[in-house]
Amino acid sequence: MLDRAVYIPLKKTGIITLTLLLLVLGYIGMRTNVQPDSSVLAYGLGNKVIVVDAGHGGIDPGAVRGEKREKDVTLPISKILAKHLSQAGAMVVMLRDSDRDLANSDFKGTVAQRKRQDLANRVKKANDANADLYISIHTNADLSPRWSGAQVFYNPGSEKSKRLAEIIQKELTTILGNTKREAKTGSYYILSNTKMPTVIVEVGFISNPGEAKLLYDPAYQSKVAYAIYSGIARSQNEDVPLVDTKIPPP
């Protein structure tokens, strides 16, 4: 084994050939990379007002299975999503950035009444902000532990919401690789009362032990957030290519 570097001189023509080869390989790498150039992916998001709603919070844990609580999953995913959107030039309205609900601080009433006021205040904040899009993050749950997979819901009366939901669903399917679910209509207060295209993204079933473990994994949370962000970006820019499923996003 040599203990010193050996340098092999190249002729001028060899340098030119090598340079051209590296450029070609670099171009191929760009074409097959999972994450398109950030400026391309972000195109169309500049100055868009986007509401990011981490479902539940405070006294409302959302769906609970054992020690797993929905509110503990929706907040970190929402924070990562908000960061992606902000970096892309969007104006993000984060409805909650800590473990709290949005009921009035002086509210006095039943838990059910507090939840209703919480939802009403979320919708009001979005409408008052004249938001362009509303993204609500939740986890799903069922009595049976067998069900799994992320799914996006939208208002059947809104074509723009349908398109947004279908594109986000496609990105979740492509990037996560563990759901065959399709975007679906839903009769939910937030979907029916917001004035802008709105979707509810159920990022997985907290009632499924395997998926619940994933949903608590920071790396998986980042993957979910990126998939949602990618769907939002593509909904605003049809020219952005689909993501390659072989290499996970950062």
Distance CA 15, CA 31 (A): 24
For residues 125-150, average pLDDT: 97
Cite the DSSP H helix spans in 98-142. Answer: 111-128
pLDDT at 17 over 60: no
Bridge partners of 57? 60
Contact 56, 96 (CB under 8 A): no
Q: Tell me the average pLDDT of the chain.
A: 84
Q: Tell me the pLDDT band of 238, cut-offs 50, 70 and 90.
A: low
pLDDT at 248: 44
Domain boundaries, given as residue ranges, for the chain: 44-236
pLDDT at 237: 81
Name the nearest CA neighbour of 169 among 158, 160, 180, 157: 180
Which 8-state DSSP code applies to residue 105?
A: T
Q: Please provide the distance, in angstroms rounded to a whole number, between the alpha carbons at the two ends of the chain.
A: 38
Q: Which residues contact 28 (CB under 8 A, 6 or more apart)?
A: none
For residues 57-84, average pLDDT: 97
Name the nearest CA neighbour of 134 among 57, 74, 77, 190: 190
The CATH H-level (homologous superfamily) assignment of domain 44-236 is Zn-dependent exopeptidases (3.40.630.40)
Q: Tell me the pLDDT band of 44, cut-offs 50, 70 and 90.
A: confident
Contact 74, 54 (CB under 8 A): yes
Q: Which of helix, strand or coil describes residue 85? A: helix
The share of the chain scoring above pLDDT 70, in percent, equals 78
Does residue 239 or residue 233 have the better pLDDT? 233
User: What does the block give as tokens for 10?
Assistant: 């190249």
User: What does the block give as tokens for 26?
Assistant: 């670099």
Contact 148, 209 (CB under 8 A): no
Handedness of CA 37, 87, 82, 68 (dihedral sign): positive
pLDDT at 156: 94
